Amino acid sequence: MADDEQTRRIVAARLALRERWQAKVKATPGVADARPLGSGPTNRHGMPQVPPGQTVTTKWPVLDLGERPQVSTASWRLTVDGAVRTSLELDFPGLLKLPQVQVSADFHCVTTWSLLDSRWGGVSLATVAAAAGLAEDATHVLTHGLDGYTTNLSLDEALKDDVLLVHTWNGQPLPYEHGGPVRVITPQLYAWKGAKWIGRLEFLTQDVLGFWEERGYSNTAHPWRDDRYS
C-alpha cells in the first residue's frame, strides 16, 4: 500500500490541502487559535453549528487511500494484541456477542465536510480492550485497517464511551465503502482517527504515529479546536 500510483495521487492531493490550510493559517493567525470546547452534550457541545471550518454534507462522501478490501462478515477477523494480558482474535459472531451500544454522533472529516446525526451501532472499543485486558503500561493503540491504513489514539481518547467498532449505520449494515463490515469511529476527533475495515487493535506502551499523523496531520485531531495539522 501507499506506493501505487493511485495512492500517490491521493496522498499528494491531501498534502496539497494541508499546505493551503497552513498558508491560510499564516495569513489569518486568528484561525489557529485554540477554542474552548464548549460544555453541551458530547460531540455537538450544545452548539447548533459545526466546528470551525466545517460545512454540513447530507451525502456521506467516501474517503480512503483508494484501496478497498472486500471483507465479508464470514471472513472478517479482528486481532487484539500488543500490550494486553491475552491476545484475542474476534470474528463477526464473536463481536455480536459482546455488549452492543448505539451512539448518535456527528462525523467530521478534516477535508472540511461534516455528516451530522448518524446513528452508529456497534461495540465500544473499551469493551474489546477489557476483553483482552490491558497491560498496566499500555498508553496508546495503533488501529490497523485491512487496506494497510493505520491511525493512532491515546488510551484517553480510545477508551471514551463513544469510540466504537461500528457494524451498523442508521439501522443498516455499514456499507463496505465506508469500512464495512466493521470500522472504528471517534466522534470527538476528526474522522481519519477511525480506521475503516478494522483488522487489528495493537495496544502500545508508547505512541506510534499512524499513516496521516506521520504525514503532518495533528496527533490530537480535535475538531472543536480546529486542530487539523501539526
Ligand X SMILES: Nc1nc2c(c(=O)[nH]1)N[C@H]1C(S)=C(S)[C@@H](COP(=O)(O)O)O[C@H]1N2
Residue 160: contacted member of ligand X, Mo ion, none (CB under 5 to 8 Å, by partner type):
none
DSSP 94-105: HHHHSPPEEEEE
**Number of residues this chain uses to bind ligand X (CB under 6 A):** 18
Strand partners, 53: none
Scanning 15-23, 42-50, 59-67, 98-106 for contacts with ligand X by CB under 6 A, the matching segment is 59-67
User: Would you call 186 helix, strand, or coil by DSSP?
Assistant: coil
Cβ 128 to Mo ion shortest distance, Å = 23
109 interacts with ligand X by CB under 6 A: yes
| Cβ-based nearer residue to ligand X, 60 or 104 | 60
Task: Give Cα separations from 212 to 83, 89, 149, 206, 219 (angstroms).
Answer: 23, 26, 9, 18, 9
Q: Would you give the binding string for ligand X spanning residues 68-97, x where CB under 6 A is met?
A: ------------------------------
Number of CB atoms found within 10 A of residue 156's CB: 9
191 interacts with ligand X by CB under 6 A: yes
192 interacts with Mo ion by CB under 5 A: yes
Cell numbers for 208, please give them: 506510534
Q: Would you give the binding string for Mo ion spanning residues 113-152, x where CB under 5 A is met?
A: ----------------------------------------
Scanning 25-33, 63-71, 87-95, 154-162 for contacts with ligand X by CB under 6 A, the matching segment is 63-71
Q: Are 98 and 113 in contact (CB under 8 A)?
A: no
Cβ 86 to Mo ion shortest distance, Å = 33
Q: Are 219 and 208 in contact (CB under 8 A)?
A: no
Contacts of ligand X in 131-190 (CB under 6 A): 145, 147, 149, 178-179
> Per DSSP, which regions of 4-100 are E strands?
55-57, 77-82, 88-91
Q: Are 2 and 65 in contact (CB under 8 A)?
A: yes
Residue ranges binding Mo ion (CB under 5 A): 63, 109-110, 192
